[in-house]
Structure 1
Amino acid sequence: MGALGVAIGAFGAHKLHDMLEKAGRLDTFETAVRYQFYHVLALFALGTLWAFRPELRSLSTPAWLWVGGILLFSGSLYVLCFTGITKMGIVAPIGGLLLLAGWLSLAWAVRSL
């Protein structure tokens, strides 16, 4: 997901910048990339923690919530930016809720550390 974020971000910044700006969607695109990277870094930290504490099986819940959140939140914004299908904007809040649920489930999982 990190490599994909770099590729999408670079493609948007170098090849689609003018199109995104003209369509008024540059901010939306940047938000999608930024939130993808925030959660890729969080997934990396979670994976590192899990490597040292494999007994913490409950860490898989926030990981899967973040993966789903990235796909729905950032993914729907990418589709909106690249295709102009505005109905995809309806999906973004669901992805946002998954990202939020991931953070809350992480807090729940590490409460006893």
Structure 2
Amino acid sequence: MLGVIAALSGAVAVIAGAFGAHAAKGDAVEWLKTGGHYQLIHAVAAILALTVVRGNLAAALFIAGGWVFGGSLYLMAAGAPRWFGAITPLGGLLLIAGWLALGWTFLRR
């Protein structure tokens, strides 16, 4: 199931990036670009973690972090209050935790 969610995450990231490149205005352009970039990288990282090292915890953290990080930026781009930007670093912490969990998975091998 994590693989399906990671694939969906990648699709959402591409949609956000495309919307940012072709339809958004003002700050929303950069928010969509940044959110899409981070979410897409971590969707790929999640799929690799799942398939290469069976790093389910790392994959789950990458997916959750991508959704929280990107999602908070997407919501602001859609008109949510700017204080939603305070949620973005929580997603970043989840992404960092994912990388640490992936490193731990390799270390245990």
Relative to the length of structure 2, the TM-score reads 0.82
Q: Which runs of 4+ in 1 moved over 6 A?
A: none
Aligned-partner residue type, residue 73 of structure 1: F
Q: Which runs of 5+ in 1 are unaligned?
A: 51-55
Percent identical: 36
In the alignment of these two chains, the number of paired residues is: 101
Matched, 1:40 2:43: yes
Task: Report the Cα distance in structure 1 between the residues aligned to 2:33 and 2:15, rounded to whole angstroms.
Answer: 13
* Larger CA Rg, structure 1 vs 2: 1
Aligned-partner residue type, residue 70 of structure 1: G
Q: Which runs of 5+ in 2 are unaligned?
A: 1-8
CA RMSD of aligned residues (A): 1.5
Map 1:17-56 to 2 at 5 A.
19=25, 21=26, 24-50=27-53, 56=54
Shift of residue 8, structure 1, vs aligned partner: 2.0
